[in-house]
Amino acid sequence: MRLSHVISALEELYPPAWAESWDAVGLVCGDPGQDVGRVLFAVDPVAAVVDEALEWEADLVVTHHPLLLRGVHSVAATTPKGRLVHRMITNGIALHTAHTNADRAVPGVSDALARAVGLTGGLRPMVPADDDPRRGLGRIGELDEPVALREFTRRAAAGLPSTAWGVRAAGDPDRPVRTVAVCGGAGDSLLGTAQAAGVDVYLTADLRHHPASEFAEQGGPALVDAAHWATEWPWLADAERRLAGSSPEAGKLETRVSTLVTDAWTLHDEGAQ
């Protein structure tokens, strides 16, 4: 399958126009005319993922996070990102990114996160898109039955890939939880949205001390904070399935979801007990 056709299929699923204005999505490197037989899906475009792509002989790597989010004046191999670009081009590996356009899609990153932590039934965006209220940022849904916050936190940890960061919660451990808001990746900008929605708990990543502490003092939803990478990783399998189902030709591609843990945090020590 030509790379240009694979990219067209991905952009049909995750249109670049849905991305935030500051974002950098789409084809990063690769010849649109090259043939693609193997596609590797990963969260981060980092050296370990490129190593995996080389070992597996992938022709295309699809990542959630951009490699070149901010403008650059050089991709010389004297920098880590420059070296990645050189390695991929030298070995004929293309790189495509679907970031905030995948966050806003339906199903998108937060749909996969919601299912991973146990939400069932219908989901609705926390922040609906102006042109289509079915899609947008974050998701709100319900558990089959209420559980205590401590149990929901345990289930979330079991449903997400394990990381050194782990899963932590803020709130009464015995608080009943049924209605849940989730946002894959850094979601502290939606704290007020979660409170206004009247949910029992809000699960996201990268929550900072002061916003979380102030939020808890307001008596709103409980908070569950997971590793950034872990909250976005469930989307990879969904993107893989959707690409395979986009056409008979795409269904013949060999695809693989990377299980490498590329979260930035690699060690957790609870200290003296």
- Give the pLDDT score at 273: 62
Both 47 and 161 in one domain: the answer is: no
- Give the pLDDT score at 213: 92
End-to-end CA distance of the chain: 56
The domain boundary, picked from 102, 133, 160, lies at 102
Residue with tokens 């299912």: 115
Count of domains in the chain? 2
Considering the entire predicted model, what is its pTM? 0.96
DSSP 114-168: HHHTT-EEEEE-SEE-SS-TTSEESEEEEEEEEEEHHHHHHHHHHHSPP-SS-EE
Both 93 and 50 in one domain: the answer is: yes
- Give the pLDDT score at 66: 97
- Give the pLDDT score at 98: 98
pLDDT tens, the chain, 273 aa long: 999 999 999 999 999 999 999 999 999 999 999 999 999 999 999 999 999 999 999 999 999 999 998 888 889 999 999 999 999 999 999 999 999 999 999 999 999 999 999 999 999 999 999 999 999 999 999 999 999 999 999 999 999 999 999 999 999 999 999 999 999 999 999 999 999 999 999 999 999 999 999 998 988 899 999 999 999 999 999 999 999 999 999 999 999 999 999 999 999 988 766
Question: b/e string for 136-163 if b means 16 or more Cβ within 10 A?
Answer: bbbbbbbbeeebebebbbebbbebbbeb
Q: Is the dihedral of CA 130, 133, 135, 138 positive or negative?
A: positive
Q: What is the CATH number of the domain that holds 26?
A: 3.40.1390.30
For residues 183 and 197, what is the distance between their CA atoms, to the nearest angstrom?
Answer: 14
- Give the pLDDT score at 270: 80
Both 40 and 142 in one domain: the answer is: no
64 is known to lie in a ligand binding site: yes
Is 247 within a domain?
no
268 is known to lie in a ligand binding site: no
Both 130 and 157 in one domain: the answer is: yes
Both 94 and 112 in one domain: the answer is: no
- Give the pLDDT score at 22: 95
- Give the pLDDT score at 70: 86
- Give the pLDDT score at 120: 94
103 is known to lie in a ligand binding site: yes
